[in-house]
Amino acid sequence: MKLSLLITFLNEESMIEKTHQAMSEQLQSLLGREIDDYELLYIDDGSTDRTYSLMKAIAARDSRVKYISFSRNFGREGGILAGFKYSTGDAVMVMDGDLQHPPSLIPEFLQAYKEGFEVVSGQRDRSGESKSSTFFARAFYAFANYAMDVKLTDGKSELKLLSRRAVNTFLAMPEYNRFNKGLYEWIGFKEKVIPYKNHVREAGKSKFSFKKSMNYAVQGLISFNDKPLRICIQFGFISIGLAVLYLFKEFIAYLLNPGNSVSGYFTTIAAIILFSGVQLISLGVLGEYIGKIYYEVKKRPHFIIDESNIEAARKDGVG
């Protein structure tokens, strides 16, 4: 079998050489035993440092390296989509470019693939993470599994191995707003989860800030369910119910003691705040969905290729 190893890079000049060396050594040790051939598919996601120039230099001395450079930053989802599209292996393994996904796990993933699993996923523990990051991550997974149409597993990372059939199925989903964690679960197929110890990045900085994490979480919640829209309707009915109860209470109070039926300032303000809040929340949820529809109907490409040593990628230009 031939393995395609897919890695996206964004401003990783301090790590790309180390990553390439570590991946190459591991794959070379498997050549002729676990795999018959392999390719290293590197995606430069609009880096502004020397990542791309180092990538080209690596490709010049290693014929197994195929690279694609985007015209700007299109995000990890776009990079993985491009890698899947132009990979040629019987299976494609997705790993990080900062060595937080240990190369030593590759043989275990290949063994699971040979056992018949179409999707093999890595599940990391949370050792080395801050308490706040762990709290927000677990809160997201708990809420997501309540609200979304697919079930996510806490700690299941982007470390994946997909069969060619799973890759082709993934590519058949053309949506612009992509949430890969959900898409991997949605396609189904027989899956094996392999736990591993969390590795702290050796150099450089994480490109996934708290703000990006929150945006990614919102993207996932909206992409895989319409429950927020239903919640808006539920909020509306609850508000109407509270209003009716309040009117009924005031009506009974008027019947029992007509002389004290003076409207209270607090209750008036509270009612205004309640109903205004429900309306604003509802408009915000509707706006999020309309915004996603806005981007979907434009049908813009998921990525634009600036340079590549893959003939098909140069010819296509966009994807």
Tell me, yes or no, whether 275 and 305 share the same domain.
Answer: no
Domain total in the chain: 2
Tell me, yes or no, whether 288 and 309 share the same domain.
Answer: no
Tell me, yes or no, whether 171 and 248 share the same domain.
Answer: no
Query: Nearest CA to 96 among 157, 173, 140, 142?
Result: 157
For the stretch 93-96, contacts whose Cβ atoms lie closer than 8 Å and that sit 24 or more positions apart, written own/partner, are 93/3, 93/4, 93/5, 93/6, 93/160, 93/161, 93/162, 94/6, 94/7, 94/158, 94/159, 94/160, 94/161, 94/162, 95/5, 95/6, 95/7, 95/23, 95/159, 96/7, 96/158, 96/159
CA distance 162 to 168: 10
Tell me, yes or no, whether 138 and 166 share the same domain.
Answer: yes
Tell me, yes or no, whether 193 and 280 share the same domain.
Answer: no
CA distance 225 to 285: 12
**Arithmetic mean of pLDDT, 15-44:** 90
Tell me, yes or no, whether 118 and 263 share the same domain.
Answer: no
Tell me, yes or no, whether 96 and 202 share the same domain.
Answer: yes
pLDDT digits (tens, 9 = 90+) for 72-121: 888 888 888 999 999 999 999 998 888 888 888 899 999 999 999 999 98
- The angle subtended at Cα 177 by Cα 172 and Cα 181, nearest 5°, is 75
* Model pLDDT, residue 56: 92
Residue 219 lies in a domain: no
Tell me, yes or no, whether 184 and 261 share the same domain.
Answer: no
Confidence tier at 129 by pLDDT (50, 70, 90)? low
CA torsion angle 58 61 62 65 (round to 10): 40
Residue 309 lies in a domain: yes
192 pLDDT more than 60: yes
Tell me, yes or no, whether 274 and 181 share the same domain.
Answer: no
* Model pLDDT, residue 220: 57
Distances (CA, A) of 303 to 85, 93, 115, 220, 231: 12, 20, 34, 20, 34
- Write the secondary structure of 61-112 as one string of H (helix), E (strand) and C (coil): HCCCEEEEEECCCCHHHHHHHHHHHHCCCCEEEEEECCCCCCHHHHHHHHHH
Which is it for strands 65-70 and 37-44: parallel, antiparallel or unpaired? parallel
Tell me, yes or no, whether 21 and 139 share the same domain.
Answer: yes
Residue 217 lies in a domain: no
Confidence tier at 128 by pLDDT (50, 70, 90)? low
Which of 45-54, 105-114, 153-162, 256-265 shows the lowest per-residue confidence on average (mean pLDDT)?
256-265
* Model pLDDT, residue 76: 85
Which of 6-20, 104-118, 175-189, 245-259 shows the lowest per-residue confidence on average (mean pLDDT)?
245-259
* Model pLDDT, residue 99: 82
Residue 293 lies in a domain: yes
203 pLDDT more than 60: no
Q: Which of 107-121, 129-143, 145-159, 204-218 has the highest mean pLDDT?
A: 107-121
Confidence tier at 208 by pLDDT (50, 70, 90)? low
Residue 216 lies in a domain: no
Task: List 66's β-bridge partners, or say none.
Answer: 41
The first and second tokens of residue 106, run together, are 């590759």
Confidence tier at 206 by pLDDT (50, 70, 90)? low
* Model pLDDT, residue 195: 85
The first and second tokens of residue 3, run together, are 């393995």
201 pLDDT more than 60: no
**Arithmetic mean of pLDDT, 194-221:** 61
Domain that includes residue 239, residue range: 226-298
Burial track 280-311 (b if 16+ CB lie within 10 A, e otherwise): eebeebeebeeebeeeeeeeeebbbbeebbbe
* Model pLDDT, residue 64: 93
* Model pLDDT, residue 252: 74
Query: Nearest CA to 222 among 292, 283, 172, 174?
Result: 292
* Model pLDDT, residue 20: 92
Residue 258 lies in a domain: yes
pLDDT digits (tens, 9 = 90+) for 238-248: 766 776 677 67
Tell me, yes or no, whether 291 and 310 share the same domain.
Answer: no
More confident residue, 94 or 207: 94
Q: Give percent of the chain above pLDDT 90.
A: 27
Tell me, yes or no, whether 230 and 188 share the same domain.
Answer: no
Q: Which of 15-19, 129-133, 155-159, 230-234 has the highest mean pLDDT?
A: 15-19
Q: How many CA atoms lie within 13 A of 272 on its CB side?
A: 6
Residue 121 lies in a domain: yes
